[in-house]
Amino acid sequence: MFSIFQYSFIQNAFLAGSVVAVVGGFVGYFLITRGLTFAGHALSHIGFAGAAAALLIGIDPIFGMLAFTIIAGAGIGVFGKELREEDINIGIVMTLMLGLGALFIALYNGYAEQAYSILFGTILGISRTDVLITLIFGIATIVALTAIFRPLLFSSVDPEVAEARGVPVRALGIFFLILVAVAVSMSVEVVGVLLIFTLLVGPAAAAMRIVHNPLGAVATSIGLALAYTWLGIFLAATGSWPVTFYIATISFVVYLPVRLLTARR
């Protein structure tokens, strides 16, 4: 059963998946705390348009994803609370980007597999170079989040008091959304646009209902994200269904009883 770990593509999948899971679990906690889950969902779809545009002009999709998502994340952060409270505005931008992505894919003359991998990910087909790129972006994101953890948590829980005490709430919000953009971009190749939202929200949502201490909730979120990813990759490698299906299903199966039990309690 564990003989599959002798293959390099399985090793690459577990390494990259682990990095994505840690970043997703960490970022996801603040995404939920700040009420920006829909913005995170929108950024993943905006990243799809950027990746499709990059394919169209013949460059690596990750550069297109980074450009589109960072610009969009900074824009959402600049508009701040006003835009965050009007989900319809984010939704309109998201649907526009989905339309542009579909147009870019239609104009793309290369292999369809490369385009569709943006949507569904290719975690069992990534190279060691992809793992290295994912690791670099992952470490940078984790270090940046760790550096601003306390002021970001303060501004997330009570922004008015934080601002009164001199915390740069607006700047932190913009910087955090740029980190979300980087997290989305580095994760798309592994789990795909359609399911990056699962690792950003599922583990953190369950963790925050189990543990109420911020550090404990972040640690639990990361642990759950790792468990979902490892189990999903293992089941996909030994079965015939895609990794993203397993990860999404496991996330739902874990969250549902946690949600029901904590609501009753």
Amino acid at 10: I
- Distances in Å between the alpha carbon of 1 and those of 5, 241, 242? 9, 17, 18
pLDDT for 83: 46
Q: Specify the CATH class of 7-194 in words.
A: mainly alpha
Instruction: Name the nearest CA neighbour of 53 among 68, 75, 39, 41.
Output: 68
d(CA 65, CA 265): 42
3-state secondary structure 131-174: HHHHHHHHHHHHHHHHHCHHHHHHHHHCHHHHHHCCCCHHHHHH
pLDDT for 38: 81
Instruction: Name the nearest CA neighbour of 172 among 192, 189, 149.
Output: 149
Q: Give 136-193 pLDDT, tens digit per residue.
A: 999 999 999 999 999 999 999 888 898 899 999 888 988 998 999 888 888 876 777 7
pLDDT for 104: 86
Domain locations in the chain as residue ranges: 7-194
d(CA 80, CA 98): 23
pTM above 0.75, yes or no: yes
CA triplet 234, 237, 243: central angle to 5 degrees?
A: 75
pLDDT for 225: 95
Residues lower than pLDDT 70 in the chain: 1-2, 79-89, 110-116, 189, 194, 263-265
Q: 213-218: long-range contacts at Cβ-Cβ below 8 A with a sequence spacing of 24 or more?
A: 214/29, 214/153, 217/29, 218/25, 218/26, 218/29
- Alpha carbon distance, N-terminus to C-terminus of the chain: 40
For 80, phi and psi rounded to 5 degrees?
Answer: 65, -140
d(CA 207, CA 259): 10
